[in-house]
A and B are shown apart, each in its own frame.
Chain A
Amino acid sequence: MNDRLSSGNSRLDEILNGGLLKNAINLIVGVPGSGKTILSQQFTFANATREHPALYLSTLSEPLDKILRYGQGFKFFDATAIRDGRVIYEDIGPVLGEDGLDDVLTVIDGYLKQVRPGIVVVDSFRVFQAFATDVTHFRRFLYDLTRRVTASATTSVWNAPYTRTQALEAAEFAVADGIISLDIKQIGEREMRVLQVLKLRGSSYKTGEHAYRISEDGFRVSPRLADSLDDSPYQLSDVHTATGIAAFDELLGNGGYWAGATTLIAGPSGIGKTLMGLHFIFQGARSNEPGIIATFQENQTQLERVAHSFGWSLEDPKVHVLHRSVVAMNIDEWVYELLDLADQTGAKRIVVDSLVDLQSAAADPVRFKEWMFSLAQRCTRAGIGLMMIMEVTELFQLRQISEEGISHLADNVVLLQYVQEGPELVRALTILKTRAMRHRPVVHRYEITDKGFELGDALGLSR
């Protein structure tokens, strides 16, 4: 059943389980500056057609010219749509100012009959309250307007500068079928814009706060990555993906990790974790499995130098780098960038360097765990091998990996650490866990040569 209209942003549609409710009243609330007008206009231009034009009504809160002037800066703004009558901007401010609320109804009646709009936006709705003589008058107006728009085949979008709490108490809340709240949150010293669905009649939606940004492309939302456990069957691969370190493949027993497995590489700084990641990615590139190095550490140039010293090049068309700074980062925005890139490149391997950066960006450990679980699940189902690099502070003899339960969801856990052997410090590798494979938890020494990771003999753990 086609009972939705796209919001103009596919990820917001995902949150709304398909889009805004068609032939219904959708309320967009949010503090000034949160982007209500932008979202409404994006929606307007995305859905207006010749048969079902969109009518954009400005009230006394902002002059129409101002809405238009700023609207024009966005890519979705299409002047031809205005020229050929698909989008009609009208200012009902004067009617309201001179004749009051009741004449607004008469004017809207006229529009509903003559324009026959598929969409009617009212920006902003709150001003109507100021023109009501009392609460009863406003409610009466609201009821009369609701009856009119309900009788006509039109989708209403009403903007109002309410905070979330005000919205819950507003009379409009009761009559609205869908309510989207926009908010600007202060997290430490940075600001984050968050969108939340407060109500969506007859439909489920993605709950919680979703980060969004506004750019010249318009409104871009990143749904909170929080997939519920998906028990539906999917094709489990029986293919093994080589790690890029032959001796390690042997150690794992079957020639590498299972395809689509999640692997955690833990170890202190400088031990060779990133190198293990590079082996994994470049081995993939050789066997026609595109890979992504998602890094918060080295930028492309620094990483190229590291790769180059082992005889690899990031110029390889099968290797992609996603370098982002953790400054002002939102994990959901980032993860969609990653998933989009994986989609575009057909990536089969992803290395995340490092988990600690993501953890610090997430702020909330419970949320992080849920997010990580969702990402791992998505990768597994898409047959993408995910390698997560995690820095630990202990140089020797790690007693506990403090990783908020990430090792539980990982299929493989590999520990890299320094071990004292006589007067010497040597690097050592231990496979702590491999799901559905037999492995021997033996500590192996390894060296880093100009060929990369060279696995040596097993050794006894010294005290």
Chain B
Amino acid sequence: MYSIGAVARMLDIPASTLRAWEERYSMIRPVRSEGSQRLYSRRQVEKLRFVKAQIESGASAADAHRLLAEEARAGGVPAVLEGPPGDRRPLVLIAEKDTYASDLAEYFLRTDGYQVAIAVDATQAKFQFDERSPDVVIIDLLISGGAGFRLVSEFAQKGTSQILAVAAIDAAEEALRVGAAAFMRKPLESLQLVSTVRDLLGTSAIVRSKRNQTAEL
């Protein structure tokens, strides 16, 4: 296990950047010590090294994380995207291209007690969905040039998550038709967002508790 300071020195990446990546992309998430210190595994350090290499060869941080996700799918860098063990807080996956919008939504949801993961494009969203089985997925319908509709329908068919579709345009009918449980027009207002997510979890609470029971058995 490595402390954040150690990882920062090893990879020459500022600790603040590591924290920002963790917050923004939710792909490399160290467990916490009892004193709430971040503890990185060797695998996670390897993943960070991969991200760093991508950035050095010209990719943006977001792209580097997407590539990491693709690598993981292709069986390259092993990606284990578990949250801290034992964390039973509901997980919300935000698939949103606008980093300011996802940043705000994440903040509002986190302060209301949710775990949050962020995907900045459709590929990341699929990857995170498969890896982390979120309880709620918030999908910007216009992500990756309108791929949000396909994502909604794909995730809805699996029936494991409640789906909240969002868009800057009024697309409520279309969103519900492809399987979203709810639609909200952007920009997302904090109280409305939190209460909608809460409502959606309420309707899926039974499903989730069954799932947890199965997992425990």
Residues on A close to B: CB < 8 A? 23, 51-52, 112-113, 116, 147-148, 150-154
Contacts and interface: CB of A to CB of B under 8 A. Distances in A.
A151 B140 CA distance: 12
B189 A151 contact: no
B190 A151 contact: no
Contact of A150 (B187, B190, B191): B187
Interface in B179-194: 186-192
B104 A112 contact: yes
Given A113-B104, A152-B104, A147 B187 contact: no
Contacts of A112: 104
Nearest to B168: A150
Would you list the 3 A-B pairs with minimal beta carbon distance, nearest first?
A153-B189, A151-B100, A151-B101
B190 A153 contact: yes
Contacts of B101: 151
Contacts of A116: 108, 190-191
Contact of B98 (A23, A51, A113, A147): A147
25 contacts: A23-B187, A51-B191, A52-B189, A112-B104, A113-B104, A113-B107, A116-B108, A116-B190, A147-B98, A147-B100, A150-B100, A150-B187, A151-B100, A151-B103, A151-B104, A151-B186, A151-B187, A152-B104, A152-B187, A153-B187, A153-B188, A153-B189, A153-B190, A153-B192, A154-B187
Interface string B102-129: 0110011000000000000000000000
Given A51-B191, A151-B100, A153-B187, 19 more contacts: A52-B189, A112-B104, A113-B107, A116-B108, A116-B190, A116-B191, A147-B100, A148-B100, A150-B100, A151-B98, A151-B101, A151-B103, A151-B186, A151-B187, A152-B100, A153-B188, A153-B190, A153-B192, A154-B187
A145 to B, nearest CB: 10
Contacts of B104: 112-113, 151-152
Contacts of A147: 98, 100
A103 to B, nearest CB: 15
Nearest to A109: B103
A147 to B, nearest CB: 5
Contacts of A153: 187-190, 192
A308 B190 CA distance: 67
Contacts of A52: 189
B196 to A, nearest CB: 13
A149 to B, nearest CB: 9
Interface string B75-99: 0000000000000000000000010
Contacts of B190: 116, 153
A52 B103 CA distance: 19
A151 B101 CA distance: 5
A27 to B, nearest CB: 19
Contacts of A51: 191
Q: Which of B98, B104, B107 has the most CB of A within 10 A?
A: B104
Interface string B11-46: 000000000000000000000000000000000000
B23 to A, nearest CB: 12
A116 B190 CA distance: 7
B140 to A, nearest CB: 11
Q: Which of B98, B103, B188 has the most CB of A within 10 A?
A: B103
Interface string B187-209: 11111100000000000000000
Q: Which of B98, B107, B108, B187 has the most CB of A within 10 A?
A: B187
A118 to B, nearest CB: 8
Contacts of B186: 151
A107 to B, nearest CB: 15
A116 B186 CA distance: 15
Contacts of B187: 23, 150-154
Nearest to A1: B170
B150 to A, nearest CB: 24
A148 B100 CA distance: 6
A11 B191 CA distance: 31
A150 B189 CA distance: 11
A52 B108 CA distance: 14
A11 B144 CA distance: 43
A151 B107 CA distance: 13
Contacts of A151: 98, 100-101, 103-104, 186-187
A148 B192 CA distance: 19
A2 to B, nearest CB: 11
A52 B190 CA distance: 10
A153 B100 CA distance: 12
A112 B106 CA distance: 13
A151 B98 CA distance: 8
B97 to A, nearest CB: 11
Interface string B151-194: 00000000000000000000000000000000000111111100
A51 B191 CA distance: 8
A116 B193 CA distance: 12
A339 to B, nearest CB: 36
A116 B187 CA distance: 12
Nearest to B111: A113
Contacts of A113: 104, 107-108
Nearest to B188: A153
A113 B103 CA distance: 9
Nearest to A52: B189
A150 B188 CA distance: 10
A23 B104 CA distance: 15
Nearest to A144: B100
B103 to A, nearest CB: 8
A23 to B, nearest CB: 5
A51 B104 CA distance: 17
A156 to B, nearest CB: 11
A150 B100 CA distance: 9
Contacts of A152: 100, 104, 187
Nearest to B192: A153
A151 B103 CA distance: 9
A150 B186 CA distance: 9
A153 B101 CA distance: 10
A3 to B, nearest CB: 10
A460 to B, nearest CB: 74
B187 to A, nearest CB: 4
